[in-house]
Amino acid sequence: MATGAAVDWRACGSRFECATLDVPVDYSAPDGEQVGIAVIRRRASDPSSRIGSLVINYGGPGDPGTEHLRVAYTALPEEIRAHFDIVSFDPRGAGDSRPIDCVDDATYEQAASEDVTPDSEQALAGFYDGSAFSVDLIGACILRHGSWLARVGTRNVARDLDRLRAALGDRQLSFLGYSYGTVIGAVYAQEFPTRVRALVLDSAVNLATTPEQRQRGNAKGFEGALDAFLADCATDAQCAFHSGGDPRAALLRLRDRFEGGLTLASNDLRVVGVSEFYVGMLAALYTPHLWPTLAEALRAADEDGDGDLLRALADSLLGRREDGTYDNIQEAISIINCADRPSDRVSFDAFRLMFDDLSRRFPVLGPAFGGSPLGCDPRLPLPATTEQLGDVRSRTVPPVLIVGVTHDPATPYDGAIELHRRLHGSRVLTLDGTQHTAYSRGIACIDGPVDRYLLELVLPRRGTRCGL
């Protein structure tokens, strides 16, 4: 059993403690080069009833948990905060754990503001070969980080997680993984089944799908969420973007204006254009809680020429902080995915066919999803076979609780069913809804069963499902 390195905790504000855990860059050479993993925790509020640590990963891949936990801690149910030290970490390649940070913030901001939808055959070719953009992000990543880009895959993150478990002094791991965090949890279950106490895997990535299927699933999911938002707005006269009962027509007109070159001012003097229109919408479509904000953002842009809310929504998805710096999650996602599943770049003809199909089937958001060619840049270093994701499954892990949302726009519900098949003895808890992730959002019929499982290791009844 891995003992892990000792960590020195230090106070880092608001009753949190921070530390750095050294782990091997290459687990086939455990005594070789080490990398520091940034860790944060908040101790159990009732130490006398402490069960252990609950380690949380918020997805991505590449979400910086040391930042995310600070804002998400109070959303956790009080009982969980009382009985567990709440812990998160920046996975290797993210946050403060030797991050995949390829360009400076000004350059990244410029790249993020460029049009995300090709508008002509020439532009489509430019999206394929990268000439449509002012910045070669992958090239910059390779130049800056080299072979490190092959070491950031999920198998290594799961091994880091086991080192963290040992350093925390826990004999077995209690883990909550959201979105891509479900992949980390599933890999941990495969590699270290006897070291699992409890795994809650919320909004699972489908481990059986191809990149093409995932791209289609995302386009379908977010277009479906957009349709639901527009339908809800059309029937609610109080919706800010009601537009006389036809918000879809108003949205298409606004889209055409942005595609035609419309730019708006924002209060920080940055320009709001077509990229912020699409990215801001995507950010809000993760959860119906943001639909009123999206409605006001679209109204303000359409009627007042005010881009502040669209800009704020886009910033939230792009990881822009209040001081103007960015986290590195958007730079890391594709690198980590390619470290997990290296695949050849599709041909231009296949890219064009996919773009045309998604644009036809999902007319608002399809072009934004279809503008990214599938496959990995051939310049990226290849990870060792032992570090690639491969076939993830376990028949010996203790019972795992999987949470799925029926109309999740980002990780479709069939991912929860597929993960259930792969983890023997697992149980699926279902929420009927249109949102990404369900636990710790104040939904009693989800929080209650998850809390009981984490506290008492009791699974909900088979087939348990509930609505908002």
Report the SS3 class of residue 223: helix
Q: For every residue of 22-80, which 3-state class applies, written as one string?
A: EEECCCCCCCCCEEEEEEEEECCCCHHHCCEEEEEECCCCCCCHHHHHHHHHHHCCHHH
Q: What is the pLDDT of residue 265?
A: 84
Give the per-residue SS3 of 232-295. HHHCCCCCCCCHHHCHHHHHHHHHHHHHCCCCEECCCCCEECHHHHHHHHHHHCCCHHHHHHHH
| CB-based contact 189:331 (threshold 8 Å) | no
Average pLDDT estimate for 341-367? 96
**Is residue 408 annotated as a catalytic residue, yes or no?**
yes
The predicted structure's pLDDT at residue 267: 84
pLDDT of 119-152, one tens digit each? 988 999 999 999 989 889 999 999 999 999 999 9
Q: Of the residues 101, 203, 436, 447, which is catalytic? A: 436
Q: CA–CA separation, 96 vs 65, rounded Å? A: 10
User: In CATH terms, is domain 10-98+152-207+389-467 a member of 3.40.309.10?
Assistant: no
- One-letter amino acid for residue 42 of the chain: R
- N- to C-terminal Cα distance for the chain? 43
Residue 194 burial by Cβ neighbours in a 10 Å radius (0-12, 13-18, 19+) = exposed
Record the tokens describing residue 389, joined without a space.
Answer: 């994701």
Listed by start position, the domains of the chain span: 10-98+152-207+389-467
Phi, psi of 62, deg, nearest 5: 105, 10
Query: In this predicted model, what pLDDT tens digit does every residue of 368-398 receive, in sequence order?
Result: 999 999 999 999 999 999 999 999 999 999 9
Percent of the chain with pLDDT over 90: 93
Average pLDDT over residues 55-61: 96
pLDDT tier for residue 158 given thresholds of 50, 70 and 90 = very high
Residue entry with tokens 């889209």: 255
Q: Which pLDDT value is given to residue 190?
A: 98
pLDDT at 84 over 90: yes
Instruction: Tokens for 433, please give them.
Output: 């809804």
Instruction: Identify the active-site residue in 63, 306, 408, 447.
Output: 408
Q: In whole angstroms, give the CA distance from residue 334 to residue 375.
A: 9
- Where b means 16+ CB within 10 Å and e means fewer, 25-59 reads bbbeeeeeeebbbbbbbbbbbeeeeebbbbbbbbb
User: Is 436 an active-site residue?
Assistant: yes
Indicate the range of 43-57, 127-141, 294-308, 356-370 predicted with least confidence.
127-141
pLDDT at 442 over 60: yes
On the question of pLDDT at 1 being above 60, the answer is no
CB 86 within 8 A of CB 315: no
Report, as an integer, the average pLDDT of 55-81: 96
Task: Decide if 185 contacts 177 (C-beta within 8 A).
Answer: yes
Cis amide bond preceding 61, omega within 30: yes
pLDDT at 304 over 70: yes
* Annotated active-site residue in 179, 275, 359, 440: 179
Instruction: Give the residue from 366, 332, 406 showing the smallest Cα distance to 218.
Output: 366
Strand partners, 54: 86, 174
pLDDT at 2 exceeding the cut of 90: no
- Torsion angle of alpha carbons 112, 90, 378, 375, nearest 10°? -70
When the pLDDT of each residue in the chain is averaged and rounded to a whole number, the result is 95
Among 114, 113, 131, which Cα is nearest to 122's?
131
b/e per residue 272-294 (b: at least 16 CB within 10 A): bbbbbbbbbbbbbbbbbebbbbb
Per-residue pLDDT tens digits for 168-209: 999 999 999 999 999 999 999 999 999 999 999 999 999 999
Instruction: Please compute the mean of the pLDDT values over residues 2-21 and round it to a whole number.
Output: 86
Q: Give the residue-averaged pLDDT of 6-15.
A: 93
Residue 424 falls in the annotated catalytic set: no
**Which ranges of 300-413 would DSSP assign to H, the alpha helix?**
308-318, 329-340, 348-361, 366-370
CB 184 within 8 A of CB 177: yes
* pLDDT of the residue at 5: 61
